[in-house]
Amino acid sequence: MKVQRPTGGTGSVSSVGRVSAAPSVKPAQRVDGVSDATAPVDVASIGGIPEAEFTPKVRAAIEKLMKEVQDVRQELDQAKKRVDYLEKLADQDVLTPVLNRRAFVRELDRMMAYSERYEVPGSVIYIDVNGMKEINDGLGHEAGDEAIKHVASTLVRNVRSSDIVGRLGGDEFGVILLQASPDIAAEKAQFLSGEVAKIPFDYEGNSVNVHVSHGVHNFQGGDADSALKAADMAMYEQKKAKQQASEETDVS
């Protein structure tokens, strides 16, 4: 049996006498394939109900409701972007383009747990800038800040994307190397120290050389605080050995 639709078409009647619904109409699409939130809402597609069955008041109410839902979605999206930005800001060192200490320690704990679970070797390098007092006293604290920035940017340029660099405070930095054997980690630490010293930075016409000391702690599990203390101690031993060698050279 066929019945006449309000639009002039026909539709089959089910056993209970209900007219089958017209196919749903998809929301308007932009040329890039993304739903356009600003396009008119096709309320006729809701539940497959024919548009002719909506009264003007029902249609207006549905359009208003769908607009409010879209507004809420946009607000949630903006809020998420804001939260992501604030989280990134909270992890960022105030002076350099690397992680701050809190974020670095968190990542070190995470990497150490990963290395223990999957039996992957890892290392943390502790780096201390030498001669910061001389730079600050001789050229001013702004020059000292530039020295810190120089070290940070040099480290970032010379590590893998999977490695993590952080400023631990003052003139101290840390680098996390995952899937690095003790020999590779030691070579990498030496390489990074050499790169920092190789290229001076310019400050108000002065070419300033920066040197660092480093210590390496290899891990496969454990906790971040213990690893940093061990790497710090190794760095201190290297710095002390350098000072002794320098003093012996001066005496001779």
Domain enclosing residue 105, as ranges: 101-251
- Is position 192 within any domain? yes
**Is 162 in the same domain as 122?**
yes
We report the CATH number of the domain holding residue 228 as 3.30.70.270
**Is 82 in the same domain as 168?**
no
- Is position 18 within any domain? no
Q: How many domains does the chain have?
A: 2
Helix, coil or strand: residue 187: helix
- Is position 21 within any domain? no
pLDDT of 47 reads 61
Q: Which residues are paired to 11 by β-bridges?
A: 3
pLDDT of 89 reads 65
**Which one of 91, 124, 152 terminates a domain?**
91
**Is 189 in the same domain as 67?**
no
State how far the Cα of 115 lies from the Cα of 180, in Å rounded to an integer. Answer: 11
Q: What is the pLDDT of residues 151-187, one digit of tens each?
A: 999 999 999 999 999 999 999 999 999 999 999 999 9
- For 123, the token pair is 């290392």
Instruction: Please give the average per-residue pLDDT across 131-142, as a whole number.
Output: 96
- Is position 169 within any domain? yes
Q: Is the pLDDT assigned to residue 24 strictly greater than 60?
A: no
**Is-above-0.85 flag for pTM?**
no
**Is 139 in the same domain as 169?**
yes
